[in-house]
Structure 1
């Protein structure tokens, strides 16, 4: 299994299959034909064409197959970054509320 860190663009030839079980990401078809996506636990298969996106989740084993040569762009999941940023800001607010002012002594 190939591992990579998004953002990255990959080319799949007709009939090639990519197994996805990495960090969450958004996949966009940026060129070429159609891709078929099937996920563990999802009763629907998904077909994407040029310009369409699909959210890939770690907890769902996913297979992506190209009908024809296709270029796929994988980007970090924006929603995950937003949740992480919110968590970090909440933690910083808690830390700053607990801080006390230092006393200065004249002299």
Structure 2
């Protein structure tokens, strides 16, 4: 992943998969996002305006924490 930020919109039934994205920032625009990252036993829950920097190169899963549409941006590392 490189270049400009990209925007994504998911329904509650969808999962977004991301690999090899160390340093990428997930920035929530709408809804509550559930995020889990390979090698991190914790689940992360982010609300509108919150962000999370991906730490490793493994698989990252992003989905809706509640039954609502979510919107988020992926900001690549510099």
38 and 70 in structure 1: CA distance in 2 versus 1, 3 angstrom threshold: same
Deviations 1:42-90 (A, max 9, x none): 111100111100112451211111132011011122xxx3xxxxxxxxx
Cα RMSD for the two superposed structures: 2.0
- Once residues 28 and 3 of structure 2 are traced to their aligned partners in structure 1, the CA distance between those partners, rounded to angstroms, is 18
Equivalent runs, 1:25-36 vs 2, <5 Å: 25-31=24-30, 33-36=31-34
Return the index of the structure with the highest Cα Rg.
Answer: 1
Indicate whether 1:8 and 2:12 are aligned: no
Higher relative contact order (CA 8 A, sep 6+): 2
- Once residues 72 and 39 of structure 1 are traced to their aligned partners in structure 2, the CA distance between those partners, rounded to angstroms, is 16
Q: How many residues align?
A: 75
Which deviates the most, 42-51 or 13-22?
A: 13-22
The TM-score, its normalising length taken from structure 2, stands at 0.80
How far the C-alpha of 1:10 sits from its partner, in A, is: 0.8
Counterpart of 2:59 (choices 57, 61, 66) is 61
Bigger strand fraction: 2
8 Å contact kept, 2:37–2:59: yes
Q: Unpaired runs of 5+ in structure 2?
A: none
- Once residues 2 and 62 of structure 2 are traced to their aligned partners in structure 1, the CA distance between those partners, rounded to angstroms, is 16
